A and B are shown apart, each in its own frame.
Chain A
């Protein structure tokens, strides 16, 4: 650990020095670095896919769709837009301040820390990294030890492509994170669980470090059968894809549970079953298209959630677990008790509870009893229901008639609220996330008003009163001596 402490200190020192030198301020440097990330991913597609397969059993298509593709796109957008993003924003000032000028410029925070997660170890490392670099910071990335092959790839390959004095990678687990958090950073970006999010923020508080926390939550999916029955096939496919198609349900924006009216529940289940088979065949474990669970501990956690006898009784499909192979079968539950653990904790796995309600409007009430999630999904064409969802619930985002795809829309901010997180990123929001918006006002030495200064008299006081009210006409009258 001593060695690690020294490494961290030395890294910090070097990054701070690099930042102070001004090298990272150049847009050319930033674009070159982001371009290098693009090249790195393109050159090493096979290596990355192989690492993700070893860590999580991810199929290369899934790996591309959810990770490589995301990073490539993010890099392209950043390079193409950086000039525009970095332009100062001019502000209009009231006439009274003429000829003063005001503007806001984005300046990098300095030396920032990115703590990544294991479920999307490549995109959750490189995407924030792109944002930090685009904004002109020096960055230290700590990849997750629970995806060791991806982590090793990043640690080995990033130094080969990027400016090592400005961008560094550290591997390790909680002990390394603890050492990192003892130091002062100019910004911390964390992706992970709310529990660790609290620890990160508390550590950041000691140094008044601003944080962005991308956490999780139970993302509910409302299915309003009345208004979407014509397209029910699409709906079912999307829900199935949103639960089992991406890292086996281990994503912060995975479909966590479904809400549907009682009378339609069984037909939904009857459609989900063949859909699962169409995705993964008769034996999902051997399909090669279903990701594995991260570790034995994670399997044990999911096992525990299912072990509640009332939850066991609600299993209508699946339920088998193979701890050795880190496999949990795609499972469907029908109406597990709302007070069971599985309905009060983010599932983060391939188990789908279906909660029935008498009237679909009641689903809003259920959602409100839980902490604000990262996303709410609703399949409906009922405008009234849409309005109710938007105004009566709160979440990082709301997506109508689809799931998870909001992640791909880089014009939309991606982040949580309440328990699901603080701050946001993607697209320009990534640039803003790692920038301090500095206000700059330039006054004029030429025009100086006596009325601004003591000693006070009635004239000055009247002048100031009118000035604040921007009552320019009256001001003129005052100055001409026509008003008292």
Chain B
């Protein structure tokens, strides 16, 4: 097999130039115009882009089968696979159904100050955008963003994560096969390729990954004044109040943690906060439900995902092996390096300054705290913060005083599936948001348009300036008709 040619700066430049040309030729836009003119999307002769979106549905479904048969490095459990495909299909269906509404200009109200005028806000594509995806949900975090970019009318380059190489290869193959490659391209690779891509001028960069690399991406974007959306991570805390339905709480935490790629998700519960008195009850409930879900021997359970690769495995291992941490294990702790499996592990009262509590780790560890809200606030803002309680006042306080990308009360991670809520971080957990219309908006420029009449020009606007003009201006600023009349009549 011939050695794969390295994708370098020159290749990146050619790629972007080609895509820009297609974008300028109106490939992504003309069809959008046609969409807005047809009353039903995807009529008898469906425009290119809508075929693209429909094709994605086929892609998504076929991926379901492919993932089963190929030996991917990341073997997610079946539920995860099902969820990914379903989320993608819903995303596509929503875009197809709503696009006409999303694209419609938004009327803006004008005031007396600019009378006579009419104003509107028009959504336009940004141009050629770059999507850099992550390894934990390689299909979801690639295709969902590509859907957003295309529906907004952009040309897009996707760079999937090299840490999920089979998924990356499959994405490259299927996207080029089904979609219009003059406007949608995939570049596979690692640091070299990403660096080459980042040196080009993009109209937007959408990055999903770690805070550390997020900084690198934003710094590169700064050179070209490229706006970015950064979907990063953070330690998502779960506060478990004693006034809650413990069985439901614990089931949801487990499903949200170990059920989601074995904790390898940006909004996985990272650590649990509960009171000293309540902790034993929480731990017991968790042990019981973990056994119900994964059986007595979780390492053998088919429903548990692997760790993505040995580097991550070693990192997690090290976190567990730290002296102060290893003796806090109250459940689990088994590791199998060969199969890259770590059993669901619960730690109690890990020191707050241990490595496991300071890195974004993906381990649960109930620690005790009366001032759990303060504890959360003393740490970098997470992507999600969770609270389980029946107490209305506590819910109110949590929602208003804890800052996070998103807050979920009495459930875990489900807000990911909601297209009516913006999904994004704040502070260390990121900037920008997406999902549903928010994706369309993330990849659009909202252009302000003002229509003015050529009639009726007020001399007040122009030099030479005088006291009379000043009076009228003051009245105009207040949009006060009475004052305006007074000024015009020279009475004020």
Where the two chains meet, the residues of A that have a C-beta atom closer than 8 Å to any C-beta of B are: 20, 22, 25, 59-62, 64-65, 69-70, 72-73, 76, 91-94, 97, 100, 102, 104-105, 107, 109-110, 186, 194, 197-198, 201-202, 204-206, 208, 210, 213, 215, 228, 231, 234-235, 237-238, 240-241, 245, 278-281, 287, 289-290, 368, 379, 390-391, 394-402, 405-406, 408-414, 417-419, 421-424, 436-446, 448, 452-456, 461, 464-465, 468-469
Contacts and interface: CB of A to CB of B under 8 A. Distances in A.
B420 A201 contact: no
Q: Which of A22, A76, A412 has the most CB of B within 10 A?
A: A412
A175 to B, nearest CB: 21
Q: Which 10 A/B pairs are nearest by Cβ-Cβ distance?
A: A443-B411, A468-B86, A61-B465, A201-B222, A205-B218, A289-B463, A231-B454, A402-B452, A397-B448, A412-B448
B225 A453 contact: no
Given A280-B463, A289-B463, A413-B448, 16 more contacts: A64-B473, A69-B473, A104-B421, A208-B230, A409-B113, A409-B117, A409-B448, A421-B225, A424-B446, A436-B403, A437-B422, A439-B415, A443-B408, A446-B245, A452-B255, A465-B86
B455 interface: yes
B259 interface: yes
Nearest to A290: B463
Given A205-B219, A401-B454, A455 B114 contact: no
Chain B interface, DSSP helix/strand/loop, else mixed = mixed
Given A61-B470, A455-B294, A468-B89, A439 B422 contact: yes
Contact of A204 (B78, B218, B448): B218
Given A208-B232, A438-B406, A468-B90, A411 B109 contact: yes
Contacts of A59: 463, 465
Given A210-B431, A443-B408, A64 B463 contact: no
Contacts of A465: 82, 86
18 contacts: A109-B426, A198-B225, A231-B455, A245-B462, A278-B464, A279-B463, A289-B463, A289-B464, A394-B447, A396-B448, A405-B114, A408-B113, A409-B117, A411-B119, A439-B406, A445-B410, A452-B255, A453-B259
B414 A97 contact: yes
B451 interface: yes
Nearest to B107: A411
Q: Which of B83, B428, B446 has the most CB of A within 10 A?
A: B446
A406 B448 contact: yes
A465 B81 CA distance: 11
A71 B159 CA distance: 45
Contact of B454 (A228, A405, A442): A228
A454 B303 contact: yes
Contacts of B409: 440-443
B364 interface: no
Contact of B453 (A72, A208, A401): A401
B365 to A, nearest CB: 22
Interface in B377-424: 377, 388, 390, 395, 399-401, 403-411, 414-415, 418, 420-423
Given A289-B463, A398-B447, A197 B78 contact: no
Chain A interface, DSSP helix/strand/loop, else mixed = mixed
B343 interface: no
A208 B429 CA distance: 9
Contact of B462 (A64, A198, A279, A401): A279
Q: State which size class the interface on B falls in.
A: 35 or more
B8 interface: no
A289 B461 CA distance: 12
B430 to A, nearest CB: 7
Nearest to B230: A208
A70 to B, nearest CB: 8
B433 interface: yes
B110 interface: yes
B162 interface: no
Given A208-B428, A279-B462, A399 B211 contact: no
B110 A409 contact: yes
A59 B470 CA distance: 11
Contacts of A446: 245
B227 interface: yes
Nearest to A233: B457
Interface stretch (B120-128, B132-140, B181-189): B120-128
B461 A445 contact: no
Contacts of A405: 114, 117, 450, 452
Contact of B474 (A69, A107, A287, A442): A69
A202 to B, nearest CB: 4
Contacts of B341: none
Nearest to B432: A210
B400 A105 contact: yes
B318 interface: no
A208 B463 contact: no
Contacts of B97: none
B119 A438 contact: no
Interface string B468-484: 01100110111000000
Nearest to B416: A441
A208 B215 contact: yes
A61 B111 CA distance: 21
A421 B226 CA distance: 9
Contacts of B96: none
Nearest to B429: A208
Contacts of B222: 198, 201-202, 204-205
